[in-house]
Amino acid sequence: MFIDMETTSLLIKNFGQKYSETLGINIEGGEDREIFKWFLASILFGTPINETSVVRTFQRFERHGVLTPKKILERGWHGLVDILDEGGYTRYDFKTSDKLLEVMNNLVTLYEGRLNHLHEQALDSSDLEKRLKNLGKGIGAVTVSIFLRELRSVWKKADPKPTPFVILAAKNLGIIKEESPEKILGEMKEFWRKNEVYQKSFVNFETALLRLGKGFCRKRKCKQCLLQRYCVVATSA
C-alpha cells in the first residue's frame, strides 16, 4: 500500500510540529533575535540527546535570560556548564560550553552577532552551510541541517539536504527511491507537491519524517507505529 495525501496528513498531525514551535520560537518573521534562539536550540539538538532534555535545557537558557551571543559570552564557561547541567545535559556540558563560546565569539567577530548578516553574505546554499560550519568545529552537518531545515521559507539560501533519519523514514514509506541526498530532496519535494496538506508546509513534512525515522524506524518499532501498514520494512517482515 502506498502513502497518499490522507496518510501524509496523519503523518504530519502526529509528528510534524516544527521544533521551533515546540520551543515557542517564532522564526517566520525573520527577526535576528528569534533566528538566534533557534540557532542555539539547533546546537543543543545537534547532540545525541533526547528531545525532552533539549527542550528543558533551552528553557533554562530562557529562564536565565541567556539568549543572545553577548549574553552567552558574558555567562562564561562555568556559567554555561551550570545551565546545561540544570537541563540534564550533564554528559555533554563541558564540550557544549566550549562549543558555544567558540561559536559565539566567531559570530560576533565575523558577523556582528547577526545570523541574518551571515545569510546575506553567503553566495548560495552551499556557501551558507560552509559559513555556519566555520563558526566552530562543533557545528557539523547535522546541526546545520537542523537549523536550516526550519528556515527554508525564511532564508532564500536555506535548502539543506535531508538527514539520515529523514531518508530512512522516506525510504520505508516508499516516498523515495534515489540514493544521492540531492536527488532525494528533489523526490521529497515532488511528493509534497502532489500530496500537500492544507495549511502545512514542506518543513512540517520533513520534520515528521525525521521524528518517525528517529523514534520508530531506526529502532524497528514497527508494531507501535501508526504508519506500519504503509511501511516497506514492516509489510515485508
Summarised one tens digit per residue, pLDDT across range 70-118 is 999 999 999 999 999 999 988 889 999 999 999 999 999 999 999 999 9
pLDDT at 182: 80
Q: Where are the domains of the chain?
A: 5-18+161-236, 20-149
Alpha carbons within 13 A on the beta-carbon side of 95? 12
- Given a cut of 70, whether residue 237 has pLDDT beyond it is no
How does pLDDT run across 11-61, given as a tens digit for each residue?
A: 999 999 999 999 999 999 999 999 999 999 999 999 888 889 999 999 999
- CA-based nearest residue to 125, from 161, 157, 150, 163: 157
5-18+161-236 placed in CATH 1.10.1030.10: no
Segment (H or E) for 207: helix 202-212
Please report, as a single letter, which amino acid is at residue 160: P
Task: Look up the CATH number of domain 20-149.
Answer: 1.10.340.30
**3-state secondary structure labels for all residues of 10-49:** HHHHHHCCCHHHHCCCCCCCCCHHHHHHHHHHHHHHCCCC
- Given a cut of 80, whether residue 236 has pLDDT beyond it is no
> Residue 201 — φ and ψ, nearest 5°?
-120, 170
Rounded to two decimals, what is the model's pTM? Answer: 0.92
Q: Cα–Cα distance between 42 and 139 in angstroms, integer?
A: 10
Angle between helices 164-172 and 181-195 (to 10 degrees): 50
Q: Do 5-18+161-236 and 20-149 fold alike per CATH?
A: no
